[in-house]
Structure 1
Amino acid sequence: MKLSITPSISIDDGEADLQAIRAQGSGGQNVNKVSSAIHLRFDINQSSLPDELKAKLLSLKDSRVTNDGVFVLKAQNFRTQEQNREDALSRLVAWIKAATVKQKPRIKTKVSRAAKARRVDVKKQQGAKKSMRKKVEF
């Protein structure tokens, strides 16, 4: 099965290593017996993603990416293993999709001449107001 990220980019779901583990937290007896949480490991370097996308993913400041370039995710929001599996894969796709968005370049803007004049006028008014507070010499 293929996971579609963008119309042109998709990965095979076999590239993501999914393991069922026991979930943390409260939940009574069930939490100690059933492995409903999913531990996802996605090796960025070994994936079929384009090279520029791999470089972008590796350069992100994300604590979920290890030094070896493996994206690690734990899904335990739901009670069933199937829901957690779908949640983990959808979060992986969302993370990769967020890296494909290209940021538009910032265009430098200048302060207008009128804005500069207004700033100087306000400064002059403040100065005049403060000069009126001075002690008067006879």
Structure 2
Amino acid sequence: MNTADSRVELSWDVTGSHALGEELRGRLLEVLEGRLVDGVLVVVASQHRQQRRNRSAARDRLAALVAAAAAPAPPARRTTRISAGARRRRAEAKQARSSTKALRRRPDW
């Protein structure tokens, strides 16, 4: 299947966009830095046979990328400690496994 004729390239200049605020632009530049070429985000779509469908797919993919990058970072994970009861149960389970395996060994007379 020859999809070279229906291939679509969609580019968006993140650094020059006036639709973004400074804070949002900074977050997008930071999150998408691996995908940007001179501040321009390029999305390519060639999975469909029709150029119209590839255009729609490229727009959807660009919108999803920007929405994911613009989303605020999740809150940092709080470190927790394993409870004393959980540590005790783990040690008891290890001891039980050890004694079970010890019974499988050849006895040393």
Return the TM-score normalized by structure 2.
0.70
Report the Cα offset of residue 121 of structure 1. Answer: 2.0
Distance 1:104 1:40 in 2: 33
Aligned residue in 2 for 1:77: 47
Secondary structure of 2:36's aligned partner: coil
Report the Cα offset of residue 63 of structure 1. Answer: 4.8
The reply to whether residue 59 of structure 1 matches residue 30 of structure 2 is yes
Report if aligned partners of 1:53, 1:99 keep a CA contact under 8 Å in 2: no
Distance 1:128 1:36 in 2: 68
- Residue 20 of structure 2 aligns with an amino acid whose one-letter code is L
Runs of 5+ unmatched residues, structure 1? 1-25
Aligned residue in 1 for 2:57: 87
Report if aligned partners of 2:28, 2:66 keep a CA contact under 8 Å in 1: yes
Distance 1:43 1:79 in 2: 27
- Residue 75 of structure 1 aligns with an amino acid whose one-letter code is A
The reply to whether residue 111 of structure 1 matches residue 82 of structure 2 is yes
Which has a greater percent of strand? 1
Indicate the larger mover: 53-62 or 99-108.
Answer: 53-62
Distance 1:126 1:78 in 2: 56
Aligned pairs for 1:10-25 (under 5 A) are none
Select the structure with the greater relative contact order (CA < 8 A; seq sep ≥ 6). Answer: 2
Aligned in 2, Cα 1:126/1:74: closer, same or farther, shift over 3 Å?
closer
Secondary structure of 1:72's aligned partner: strand
Q: 1:122 aligns with which of 88, 93, 97?
A: 93
Number of aligned residues: 105
Report the Cα offset of residue 128 of structure 1. Answer: 5.3
Which has a greater percent of helix? 2
